[in-house]
Structure 1
Amino acid sequence: MASLKEVRSRITSVQSTQQITKAMKMVAAAKLRRAQDNILRMRPYAQRLNSILSNLTALAGEEAVSDYSVVREVRRVLIIAITSDRGLAGAFNSNVFKGVNGLVQNRYAQQAAAGSITVMAIGKKAHDYFGKRGPLLGDYQHVFSKLSFDTVREAAERAMDGFRSGQYDEVVMVYNEFRNVATQVVRAEQLLPLVPTEQPANAPATANADYIFSPSKEEIVQTLIPQSLKVQLYKAVLESNASEHGARMTAMDKATENAGELLKSLKLTYNRTRQAAITTEILEIVGGAEALASSK
């Protein structure tokens, strides 16, 4: 049985840990509110932009074919893995790692065997994990320290240039999609080549609509496509940012609860150990008194 000093030391240590996890939970909750507001404002814009692009592409027809919509035989693949800069977020980062590894095994096994898969790591954890397994495209391990559209745009442009030049035949993003505080879903979303947006069955027909374009509709489409691709990557980064704070808040809340349960167990052990020590001392005193009485 542990001594009273050891149990007291463990109680003090767990109490300190509980204070830290409680503080981290509060910080994550404050950051989550801002991140959640950002992604909730971003989603309608991204959806509307994709809808406008789809309508204009349908109107422009073959004249609007872009370098970003060319479908080639998939020989070289770029995977954009989006994680966080820090840990202590439960399985948040490891789920992305599993998602990338599963994607490679199930979809790009031949490309992996040929060594034709490149990873762009956004977030320090992804940079550390995939950097040990091969060269990375660019250095984006501190994107979340100053998260903005400009910081993500550079990564998007690098991926777009690689696809347009034929360096990559397919570009896929793997990230955590934010659902709520307790739920984050790993998504593998194709960024390039462009996939036609599926229109709902009851959507109004736009192919025959009478629009006036200035400049030409082809020029508008060619301008919107790069912007839409950058917005898609920025949206994925915002989703990951909100998911990170939600996962960390949940993990720290659970850690605080576990620390409380451990404290109860340690205090019970401390009281039992203290009671046993007192009982032993009483028995020793009684035994000593009896020995003195018998010696007389």
Structure 2
Amino acid sequence: MPSLKEVKNRITSVMSTQQITKAMKMVAAAKLRKSQERIIQMRPFALKLNSILKNLSAAQLNADGDNWYSHVREEKKILIVAVSSDRGLCGSFNSSVFKGVNRLIDEKYADQFRKGNVTVLAIGRKSADYFGKRKCSLVSDYTGIFGNLAFDNVARAAEYIMQGFQEGKYDKVELVYNEFKNVATQVLRTEQFLPILPPAKDNTASQVDYIYQPSQEEIITGLIPKSLKVQLYKAVLDSNAAENGARMTAMDKATENAGELLKQLKLTYNRTRQAAITKEILEIVGGAEALKSA
């Protein structure tokens, strides 16, 4: 049985940990409110813009075949954008992204991976740390985006991706991130970023016939890059909100677990203290009996 001092030290340690996890939960909750508002406001705009993007891209490709954003090439070189967090203590948030990327490679790009033609662009330090240890090329220039989550910072990453695709450095770009659903739920998403997929046949928006002013080429040349930047920004905002929700949930569970552990430790402390008192009483009684018999 542990000594009273050992149990007391453990109780003090668990209480300190509980205070930390409770504070982290409150911080995550405050950040969640802000990040949730941003993604809720951004999502309808991004979805509508994505629908227009697919229609415009398909329209230009059908018209003159000169839309490199939609060019489908032989998939020799693959870029996977893995959006994780900068810090841990958020449950399975980061591990789900890592598993999603690994599953994507195993199921679709195993040959390219064996040839060293799979590159991971890490958004978030955790993905940079994880994939830096794997046998694949790593682009880690954009890991600090969450330090200053602004559209311009995400746009620079999108520009790098588009330039790499246009120059033939990458033949296909996939995006893996956690989509925010609610505080307790994050949905892992794997989306094709480039080339741009055509609109679904059952999508009514695909029947829209646009009137271009001043010209189709000028509008598409300016709109498609901006739309792609918005799509990446929306994914990063989704991931940020999902991260805060996951961290809030994880810290709430950790606080509850610390409370349960404290109950057990206090019970152990009382039992140990009672045993020590009983032992002292027995020793006193034994000594008194010895004096009487002497």
TM-score, with normalisation over the residues of structure 1? 0.94
In the TM superposition, structure 1's runs of 4+ consecutive aligned residues that sit over 6 Å from their partners are: none
CA-CA distance at 1:200 after TM superposition: 4.6
Alpha-carbon distance, 1:242 to partner: 0.4
Unaligned regions of 5+ residues in structure 2, if any?
none
Contact 2:55 2:198 in 1 (8 A): no
Matched residues in 1 for 2:8 and 2:161: separation?
Answer: 56
Q: Which residue number in structure 2 is paired with residue 176 of structure 1?
A: 178
Distance across 1 between alignment mates of 2:47 and 2:172 = 22
Deviation at 1:206, TM superposition (A): 2.1
Q: Which runs of 5+ in 1 are unaligned?
A: none
From the superposition, tell whether residues 124 and 25 of structure 1 become closer, same or farther in structure 2 (CA, over 3 Å): same
What is the identity, as a one-letter code, of the residue corresponding to 2:119? T
Question: Do the aligned residues in 1 keep the contact of 2:69 with 2:196 (CA within 8 Å)?
Answer: yes
Q: How big is each residue's C-alpha offset from its partner over 1:208-256, in whole Å with a ceiling of 9 and x where there is no partner?
A: x6x3x32112321222111111111111111110010000000000000
Q: State the one-letter code of the partner of 1:75.
A: K
Q: Taking structure 1 as reference, are residues 109 and 148 closer, same or farther at Cα in structure 2, changes over 3 Å only?
A: same
Provide, for residues 38-94 of structure 1, a one-character-per-residue CA deviation record: whole Å limited to 9, x for no partner. Answer: 111111111121222344446554237411100011010001111000000011111
CA contact (8 A) 2:51 2:205 kept: no
Residue in 2 that maps onto 1:220: 219
Distance in 2 of aligned mates of 1:201 and 1:131: 40
Kindly provide the CA deviation profile for residues 93-138 of structure 1, in whole angstroms up to 9, marking residues without a partner as x.
1111111111100110110111100111010111111122244224
Secondary structure of the equivalent of 2:189? strand
The superposition leaves residues 11-49 of structure 1 with CA deviations (integer Å, 9 ceiling, x where unpaired) of 000000000000000000000010001111111111121
Matches within 5 A, 1:153-164: 153-164=155-166
CA displacement at 1:205 relative to structure 2: 3.7
Q: Aligned AA for 1:267?
A: K
Q: SS state of the match for residue 293, structure 1?
A: helix
Residue in 2 that maps onto 1:115: 116
Equivalences, count: 292
Deviates more, 1:221-230 or 1:279-288: 221-230
1:263 corresponding residue in structure 2: 262
Amino acid at match of 1:166: G
Query: Retained in 2: the 8 A contact 1:64–1:221?
Result: no
Q: Equivalences for 1:141-160 in 2 at 5 Å?
A: 141-160=143-162
Using the TM superposition, name which of 63-72 and 168-177 deviates more: 63-72
The letter for the 2-side match of 1:9 is N
Structure 1 CA distance for aligned equivalents of residues 285 and 128 of structure 2: 68
Tell me the residue number matched to 1:71.
72
| Distance in structure 2 (CA, Å) of the matches to 1:281 and 1:36 | 60
TM-score using structure 2 length? 0.95
In 2 relative to 1, CA 221–86 (structure 1 residues): closer, same or farther, beyond 3 Å? Answer: same
Secondary structure at the residue paired with 1:265? helix
Query: Which amino acid is the alignment partner of residue 277 of structure 1?
Result: A
Q: Which amino acid aligns with 1:270?
A: Y
Query: Which SS does the other structure have where 1:84 is aligned?
Result: coil
Q: How does 1:1-296 map to 2 (within 5 A)?
A: 1-57=1-57, 60=60, 61-63=62-64, 65-133=66-134, 134-198=136-200, 200=202, 205-207=207-209, 211=211, 213-295=212-294
Instruction: Specify the code of the residue in structure 2 equivalent to 1:186.
Output: L
- Once residues 206 and 173 of structure 2 are traced to their aligned partners in structure 1, the CA distance between those partners, rounded to angstroms, is 31
- Tell me, yes or no, if the aligned pair for 2:118 and 2:137 is still in contact at 8 Å: no
Query: In 1, distance between residues paired with 2:161 and 2:40?
Result: 25
SS at 1:162's partner residue?
Answer: helix
How far apart in 2 are the matches of 1:84 and 1:257? 24
Write out per-residue CA displacement over residues 249-277 of structure 1, whole angstroms, 9 at most, x where no aligned residue. 00000000000000000000000000000
Q: In structure 2, do the counterparts of structure 1 residues 67 and 57 end up closer, same or farther at CA, with 3 Å as the change threshold?
A: closer
Identity among equivalent positions (%) equals: 64
Q: Distance in 1 between matches of 2:130 and 2:47?
A: 32
